[in-house]
Amino acid sequence: MLKALIFDVDGTLADTERDGHRLAFNAAFREFGLDWEWDVPLYGKLLEVTGGKERIRFYVERFRPDYSKPKDFDDLVVTLHKAKTGHYVELLGRGGIPLRSGVKRLLNEARGAGIRLAIATTTTPENVTALLGNTLGGDPAEWFEVIAAGDVVPAKKPAPDIYFWALDKMKLDAADCLALEDSENGVRASVGAGLKTVVTINDYTLDHDFSGVVAVLSDLGEPGQPFRMMKGEATGQECVDLDLLRRWHAAG
- Interface residues with ligand XBP (CB under 6 A) are 8-11, 17, 21, 50-52, 84, 121-124, 127, 157, 183, 185-186
Indicate if the alpha-carbon torsion angle 243, 13, 135, 40 is positive or negative.
Answer: negative
- Catalytic residue at 10? yes
Find the shortest distance in angstroms from Cβ 162 to ligand XBP.
Answer: 8
Indicate if the alpha-carbon torsion angle 192, 193, 199, 202 is positive or negative.
Answer: negative
Nearer to ligand XBP, 201 or 247 (CB): 201
Nearer to ligand XBP, 135 or 237 (CB): 135
Find the shortest distance in angstroms from Cβ 68 to Mg ion.
Answer: 33
Beta carbons within 8 Å of 71's beta carbon, 6+ residues apart: none
Q: How far apart are CA 217 and CA 206, in angstroms?
A: 10
Question: Residue-wise over 41-76: b if at least 16 C-beta within 10 A, else e?
Answer: eebbebbebbbbbebbbbbbeeeeeeeeeeeeeeeb
Cβ pair 49, 55 in contact under 8 A:
yes
Nearer to Mg ion, 214 or 247 (CB): 214
Closest CA relative to residue 173, chosen from 194, 149, 153, 155: 194
Closest CA relative to residue 234, chosen from 184, 206, 198, 202: 198
Find the shortest distance in angstroms from Cβ 181 to ligand XBP.
Answer: 7
Determine which one of 8, 15, 182, 219 is catalytic: 8
Nearer to Mg ion, 10 or 219 (CB): 10
Indicate if the alpha-carbon torsion angle 98, 164, 214, 106 is positive or negative.
Answer: negative
Cβ pair 213, 200 in contact under 8 A:
no
Determine which one of 10, 15, 182, 219 is catalytic: 10
Beta-carbon count within 10 A of 25 CB: 25
182 binds Mg ion (CB under 5 A): yes
Choose which of 2, 4, 11, 240 interacts with Mg ion (CB under 5 A).
11
Give the Å distances, CA to CA, from 233 to 196, 216, 244, 248.
15, 10, 9, 8
186 binds Mg ion (CB under 5 A): yes
17 binds Mg ion (CB under 5 A): no
- Catalytic residue at 209? no
Nearer to ligand XBP, 183 or 197 (CB): 183
158 binds Mg ion (CB under 5 A): no
Q: Closest-CB residue for Mg ion?
A: 11
CA angle 206, 220, 242 (to 5 degrees): 135
Find the shortest distance in angstroms from Cβ 21 to Mg ion.
Answer: 11
Find the shortest distance in angstroms from Cβ 182 to ligand XBP.
Answer: 7
- Residue 123 binds: one of Mg ion, ligand XBP, none (C-beta under 5 to 8 A by kind): ligand XBP
52 binds Mg ion (CB under 5 A): no
Task: Report, as residue numbers or ranges, the catalytic residues.
Answer: 8, 10
Binding interface with Mg ion (CB under 5 A): 8, 10-11, 182-183, 186
